[in-house]
Structure 1
């Protein structure tokens, strides 16, 4: 189950989360930051830093409400850092009363678990026999070691955290079947709770933010609840656990600089550096007490935002002093003797998610694109979220970052893009002007073509022979006046409505034999020449020829009763057309959908026909 995830609609790509993530567990993809669960250590640094509330963690309120509504007994275990978080509540007993008002049967403080674990660490450090340990009280540190320093697993102290230790004690005292909800400042505790079963099982983890929300939703405040004390066993100085070195002071572990062997530090950068040096230098010879959050648990990501670190530290110390005034040491020792026999050991898992270093030539290639000239190991501006340009280049090679996350690179690319855009705009402007010129030229050509079309139509209509163009549907595409005159008055009336008989069906105008001629020509792409037909009181000679294969055919109709002189005149005119107006005929052919060669053949056919008649 993913503990931390982003709300992509809220992400503004400010890269603040990348800057604070110690695990490189954030990838920029699809326009937003994405948490990589396999690499995430659930430290919550990104949750705290995001200025847009675009990162959220697993909400346990619904689960807890379900537990509280059940018939089972539900006990709350509360981290001792409550005194630093709830400074608005005047008395800790009011706080305990508010928790019980939600429906919890008991409230136990984790300080007793801190006492028990602190005593175990003291035993281990006093008898370490040359092997140095890393404390396991911070679940974010445990996750970081298992995923990014798995070779140090054997140096991790084999002890559970105070949260888990308290859970074991509560189940030992109040029953194995009780349900336990931990309330604390840590998001990583939600992840830690999922790793334990049996008497170590924690049924839910609420952060301080979540418990505040539950108080508000239930209308609970310290003025409408009764005082209540923590349920036993009561802890001692373990209440100091949430501040740095607090647990070790509680059990008097030696921290003397000369005689002690313990380094205690907190904060993500310090933790990473301490682990790197612990693994690298055998001469370090110190135990490490590490807390991921700066200020230890009092500044956990599950606490209220805007808290003051040193004020919270002071409040924890004051709270512990106040508790110790009425502390029953004998009762405490009795409880310690009773519960220290429980098994507080644990094991660690190798969850190595380290990435192999990318090839150096790939890194250098990215650095070159970034405009680096040998200074890439310097700190860099940090705007991308990475501490150096080289670290950023490695992230790019590993697929965790994009080139445009570098502001310098993005600005340079933007400038290049602007230059290209300007150049493109200039080309578009030139193209636009060229288009205007082309449109003007085309318009002139269109006007010339219209003029030519008018001229050719006039000449077409002056031909003495009837000419017709027909498509493959036997519909007239074009006809001249001579053809209409040959057909008679009915055709003339139709032509008055439909000029040139365009679109008229051929079968309604000519004998069936002519229609059959056209069928033959269109199907076989062969001409039918010099066929005599009777139409009304006329004897016509018909020649049908293909113009466009299977699609367009033309025909010439000659009135056989026209005097021979007229035939000679037709022959003369057609010859003149062939000799002087071939170009014009080609234009006619273009307009009629036929080639110039077909037109020439048609006209030659007319000449040959008349010449044959003349010879006869």
Structure 2
């Protein structure tokens, strides 16, 4: 069956925040063009990336449609309900939830905690006969995968017992027949891996969120189901297995006051990885038995990746689980269920990287000396050297180094500001200078230039102390827009001022050009032109006046000639 991996990325909404890398205990993330994709071979499906992604780009594989098809096939299908359901569906009676699930078409609803009780019984029997040493629980599939991949030397220390979920499927099939279907509902992503690997036992693994969506789509509200319609859990209600959902819960079901086992609990894969850094030989316990209950999610399943962010792992969610625990153990339960499985190491070894390659990778992000290695974690990796190794492995991109990008941006902006042939100034909302260039200082007196040359900047100075246009900057801050002023007279200078917003109401910048000489030259040219025009007008006026006098004399002469001619003609 061609199945997609349990976790995937919706690339078009993934932003380059690298939060998933920062929180991934396996660093099973590859960045391509600023988008974070899951590396399937390295991932253990803990779901941490899904939980922390601020853009909700990391998704859990949706299997709801397949579940509907399974129920529509006519097969009898039973629901396996994780014990943390009491924390997700708070204040909802189990009978009401069971009734609601049966309305979806399930043949029955059973508690995964029954499988947990079987696991504790099997583990307790194993520990009673075991030699002194360190033993790791097999209850959490994400933990088992983590040990197999990233602490493979400890794989033999993992107890050879199936998980509570797979053990529960065996209980259901023994009770209701091998021809049934089983669908799990819980807070976990790693259960999908169990379903994919053990299709003969578990048909599908869905989340509580899937169940909530399914009920809503069918207009089924568990809270409105009358008590008379509540349904019991089958084949029976669980007891001490319910406490598995919280850290230390499994240990509580194993404790034997007369036993010789020391019980420890660790939750969170980062904490587990730190615990298992020691060489197994150095960590051997030759004098006593140490059993370590391990959970991938900090605080236990009540803080799983699908649990509500504001409620997961809170005291109230723990109390919801713990209130039904009666303090009993599973040590006296029968161990006749075949739930043994050997854990085999699957080491994910990093390729050897020589020091020269690491130095070249560091140099590509401006890290040339140990002092340059800030180890800020902005890229998501613990150190600059880890980031360099990720670059070499093509898991990361140079643009992920925030400090390097900042340095590049600063250098570019400094170069632009310095070499722009005009005054440039940037001020904050208090009209204090953030940055400026020397051309800006040169717009004012010699003292301002000396101050700039001495400090290399005028940062922190009040703009109004020496600039007459601070009111224009204040107007731009207030409006959040742009302001343009041409031929603005400031003291003995004429300036063209262009003010632009960098951050609305917080920061503005201005480019100021001294056009005094240009305007003076233009005025001089204009004055000369006006003088020439005046002279031309005077000349034209003189010409016109002289021409008028000549025309008058000519007119008189012509009249006299015409009169004389008339007299002569009359005499004839």
Distance in 2, matches of 1:386 and 1:255, equals: 46
Please point out which of 348, 358, 370 is paired with 1:363: 358
Report the TM-score, using the length of structure 2 for normalisation.
0.67
What are the within-5 Å matches in structure 2 for residues 162-241 of structure 1?
162-198=164-200, 201-225=201-225, 226-241=229-244
Change in Cα spacing, 1:186 to 1:363, as seen in structure 2 (3 Å) is same
What are the within-5 Å matches in structure 2 for residues 355-434 of structure 1?
355-368=350-363, 369-371=365-367, 373-375=369-371, 380-418=375-413
Say which is worse superposed, 33-42 or 271-280, in terms of deviation.
Answer: 271-280
SS in 1 for 2:376: coil
Change in Cα spacing, 1:195 to 1:136, as seen in structure 2 (3 Å) is same
- Structure scoring higher RCO (CA < 8 A, sep ≥ 6) equals 2
SS in 1 for 2:122: helix
- How many Å apart are 1:170 and its aligned residue? 0.5
SS in 1 for 2:370: coil
Distance in 2, matches of 1:392 and 1:73, equals: 51
What are the within-5 Å matches in structure 2 for residues 506-525 of structure 1?
none
- How many Å apart are 1:269 and its aligned residue? 1.7
What are the within-5 Å matches in structure 2 for residues 529-608 of structure 1?
none
Per the alignment, residue 19 of structure 1 pairs with 22
SS in 1 for 2:306: coil
Per the alignment, residue 70 of structure 1 pairs with 73
User: What runs of 5+ residues in structure 1 fail to find an aligned partner?
Assistant: 427-616
Say which is worse superposed, 136-145 or 284-293, in terms of deviation.
Answer: 284-293
Please point out which of 111, 114, 119 is paired with 2:113: 111
1:158 and 2:160 equivalent? yes
Per the alignment, residue 45 of structure 1 pairs with 48
SS in 1 for 2:30: strand
Distance in 2, matches of 1:219 and 1:212, equals: 11
Per the alignment, residue 302 of structure 1 pairs with 306
Contact 2:366–2:372 at 8 Å: present in 1 too? no
**Which of the two has greater helix per residue?**
1
- How many Å apart are 1:242 and its aligned residue? 0.8
User: What runs of 5+ residues in structure 2 fail to find an aligned partner?
Assistant: 422-572
Report the TM-score, using the length of structure 1 for normalisation.
0.62
What are the Cα deviations for residues 475-523 of structure 1, in whole angstroms up to 9, with x where unaligned?
xxxxxxxxxxxxxxxxxxxxxxxxxxxxxxxxxxxxxxxxxxxxxxxxx
Per the alignment, residue 132 of structure 2 pairs with 130
What are the Cα deviations for residues 280-314 of structure 1, in whole angstroms up to 9, with x where unaligned?
73246633221110111111112233214221111
Distance in 2, matches of 1:280 and 1:17, equals: 34
Say which is worse superposed, 218-227 or 402-411, in terms of deviation.
Answer: 218-227
- How many Å apart are 1:80 and its aligned residue? 1.1
Distance in 2, matches of 1:414 and 1:223, equals: 56
Change in Cα spacing, 1:287 to 1:114, as seen in structure 2 (3 Å) is same
Equivalenced residue count is 410
Contact 1:18–1:386 at 8 Å: present in 2 too? yes
Say which is worse superposed, 412-421 or 123-132, in terms of deviation.
Answer: 412-421
1:276 and 2:280 equivalent? no
Distance in 1, matches of 2:256 and 2:309, equals: 33
Per the alignment, residue 58 of structure 2 pairs with 55
Distance in 1, matches of 2:388 and 2:285, equals: 32
Distance in 1, matches of 2:257 and 2:371, equals: 45
- How many Å apart are 1:278 and its aligned residue? 6.0
- How many Å apart are 1:348 and its aligned residue? 2.8
Q: CA RMSD in A?
A: 2.7
Distance in 1, matches of 2:264 and 2:170, equals: 29
What are the Cα deviations for residues 26-63 of structure 1, in whole angstroms up to 9, with x where unaligned?
01102311111111111100000001110101111111
Distance in 2, matches of 1:280 and 1:419, equals: 57
Q: Larger Cα Rg: Structure 1 or Structure 2?
A: 1
- How many Å apart are 1:412 and its aligned residue? 1.4
Per the alignment, residue 292 of structure 1 pairs with 296
What are the Cα deviations for residues 498-555 of structure 1, in whole angstroms up to 9, with x where unaligned?
xxxxxxxxxxxxxxxxxxxxxxxxxxxxxxxxxxxxxxxxxxxxxxxxxxxxxxxxxx
Contact 1:122–1:253 at 8 Å: present in 2 too? no
Distance in 2, matches of 1:161 and 1:407, equals: 42
What are the within-5 Å matches in structure 2 for residues 71-86 of structure 1?
71-86=74-89
Distance in 2, matches of 1:63 and 1:308, equals: 28
